[in-house]
Amino acid sequence: MSENSPTLDEWRRLYEVAVRVKELAPWEWMMEDDIFGVQNPENQELGFISVMGAIGEHFAVAVYLGPQGLYGFLDLEDEGLDASPYRLFEVPQLQASFEDRNILQKEDRDILKSLGLKFRGQNAWPMFRSIRPGFHPWFLEGWEARLLTCALEQALDVTPRFEADPSLLGVPEGAFFVRAPLKAEVGIGWEDRVVRVPPPASAPVTVDDLTRRRLEGLSRGEQKLEVDVFMLPDACREGKGRPFFPYCLMMVEARSGLVLFHDLLQPQPSLEEMWRSVPLKMVDQFAKAQMIPTEVRVCSEQLFDLLKPLAGASRFKLKRVSALRTLEPAREMLMGFLMGGDAL
């Protein structure tokens, strides 16, 4: 645990409210997409609460953080079964789940021992985790424990009301039911609000003058490339820092299947910054080959949007396809090698 870890009193309060949520069992009448918000009384930022467990497999309450977390969750819902299981680790959130004892880590058991708490049975042991985009689920910091406690307390207010009146969460498109704090003479009061939450805006990606000059000196080739960026499922850790999932940028020649380039990327200082580094890394490879491809194929909408400015500056054809048939075998081979070896 770090110096930013919750105090024992913060842990105690979090476990107490989690036990009350488990006793209430709101997953018996709520679906994951019955989502509502809570405003953090410390900084006024929004979290969005989703109750999991309706199908009887994973009992949990998630708090998706801010517009990025909210719309990341909604995108996952839209993708359904087509979504990669690792996409969950790209959505900022806090989770309170109820697990078997063998799932807990030593740190969890140490906290329970300090609090004098014991639980019995399957799906009975509260476990709390923080998920930051591109990082492995990790132990809570103090502010996260306080926010999760607040969210669970508001879930105890909202979920029984939703059971009695399912129209409670019926709000206009683009708006959300939110529990918001009110200043009171003693402590904090709460009220219901309807809040519009626009999708998060991404900072525009541009091609600077230096990069344009580098591209102008390159000849036009006949190569057609398949390009992808994908998460590798084995987490890495540097020192005592939070473990992260490395990503791979791969470029494959579409006709021959030859892997022209692959590089491991880290989601630091943030996953967004990692993604924004991809076009420049591709320019580096074009410069090394002294050639610009005639066509670049991608499958991901995110990568397609990211490469549009580079395609315009380089004058290669950028094409979004349903599958990267040449790259996929190389991707599977690389992942198998990395998972089985010491490459990371």
The pLDDT of residue 297 is above 70? yes
Among 196, 226, 244, the domain boundary falls at 196
User: Is pLDDT larger for residue 334 or for residue 46?
Assistant: 46
Using DSSP's 3-state secondary structure scheme, residue 64 falls into strand
| Residue 185 pLDDT greater than 80, yes or no | no
Q: Are residues 256 and 149 in the same domain?
A: no
> What are the pLDDT digits (tens) for 228-284?
999 998 899 988 889 999 999 999 999 999 999 999 999 999 999 999 999 999 999
Nearest to 130 by CA among 239, 203, 47: 47
Backbone angles phi, psi at 51, to 5 degrees: -100, 125
Neighbours of 25 (CB within 10 A): 14
Q: What is the per-residue pLDDT for 194?
A: 97
Over the range 26-36, which residues count as b (16 or more CB within 10 Å of their CB) and which as e?
bbeebebebbb
Looking at the fold, whether 43 and 179 belong to one and the same domain comes out as yes
Task: Decide the pairing of beta strands 93-99 and 188-196.
Answer: unpaired
- Pair (136, 254) in one structural domain: no
What's the mean pLDDT in 313-326? 95
First to last CA, the chain: 25
Please state, in angstroms and rounded to a whole number, the distance separating the CA atoms of residues 28 and 33.
Answer: 14
- pLDDT tens profile 129-169: 999 999 999 999 999 999 999 999 999 999 999 999 999 99
**162 and 21 housed in the same domain:** yes
Q: What is the largest CA-CA distance in the chain?
A: 73
DSSP secondary structure of 96-126: EEEE-GGG--HHHHHHHHHHT----STT-EE
Domain co-membership, 140 together with 240: no
**Quick check: is 203 in a domain?**
no
> What's the distance, CA 303 to chain centroid?
17
Residue 318 has pLDDT above 90, yes or no: yes
Residue with the two structure tokens 């740190």: 107
Last-in-domain residue among 164, 196, 228: 196
CA distance 34 to 23: 19
Range of the domain at 45: 8-196
For the sheet with 295-298, list strands across it: 259-265, 247-253, 224-231, 295-298, 317-320
Closest residue by Cα to residue 188 from 141, 157, 150: 150
What is the pTM assigned to this prediction?
A: 0.91
- C-alpha of 326 from chain center: 28
Is residue 292 included in any domain, yes or no? yes
Q: Which of 325, 278, 35 is nearest to 155 (CA)?
A: 35
